[in-house]
Structure 1
């Protein structure tokens, strides 16, 4: 059985759930050091929230009859120009950090990546949630 494509609003609801999960991990990291398992969970939750944010952006532009985009960078730049996000550089940094943080590569970027998630990226995702809440409802 074929399923219907998700709407922008449905994608946004999934994003909000993932962002709330990420908030739990970022808040707990402020009260005590994260265990290795919690660190992995924080990264996974961030990646899920970011992917869903990008999916919301893509669905929003589909609804507006814009796109398709060749990748996350193009969608991010277009979202900045459309005022869906307010810090284009910060969002592009998220993409770069995700690319650089790859357990396959020998570069150890995990500590900086975690720090950026907790101190920068969660704020960007929160502001995106606020903006999209106004756009969609």
Structure 2
């Protein structure tokens, strides 16, 4: 069964919901401490928020009549060129970090990924939120 594509506004609303969940988990982790379970919860929430951001980007360009992207890297580059995100390299680094976290690859990336989420990636997602909010208000 083919999944119905959401419009940009609905994708954005889903993204904001996921981002708020991530913010709550980060605040909870800062309050209680960052044990492995909290880190894993933050990573899962981040993945949902990042996926929702990429869906929002795809819907934004679909609304403009652009063809679908072949992957998250292409969507990220296009979003950078359209000024939807302000740190294209940082967003590409998020994608690479998520790939490295994949259980198919050796190494323990839970600590480094959760640390990057708290210190950097949340800021990238919040910047995207601000830009999209202004754009959708027009």
TM-score by length of 1: 0.93
Deviation (angstroms), 1:122: 0.2
Q: Where do residues 8-87 of structure 1 align in structure 2 (5 Å cutoff)?
A: 8-87=8-87
1:10-37, CA deviations, whole angstroms, 9 ceiling, x for partnerless residues? 0100000000000011122223322332
CA 5–106 in structure 1, closer or farther in 2 if over 3 Å, else same: closer
TM-score by length of 2: 0.92
What CA distance in whole angstroms lies between the structure 2 residues aligned with 1:85 and 1:32? 32
What CA distance in whole angstroms lies between the structure 1 residues aligned with 2:87 and 2:118? 16
What CA distance in whole angstroms lies between the structure 2 residues aligned with 1:41 and 1:59? 27
Structure 1: segments with no counterpart, 5+ residues: none
Aligned-residue CA RMSD in angstroms?
Answer: 1.7
Higher mean alpha-carbon deviation, 38-47 vs 25-34, is at: 25-34
1:44-91, CA deviations, whole angstroms, 9 ceiling, x for partnerless residues? 100000000000000000001112111000000000000000000000
How many residues align? The count is: 137
SS in structure 2 at match of 1:118:
helix
User: Retained in 1: the 8 A contact 2:69–2:75?
Assistant: yes
CA 38–62 in structure 1, closer or farther in 2 if over 3 Å, else same: same
Structure 2: segments with no counterpart, 5+ residues: none
Residue 112, structure 1, aligned to residue 112, structure 2: yes
What CA distance in whole angstroms lies between the structure 1 residues aligned with 2:29 and 2:18? 17
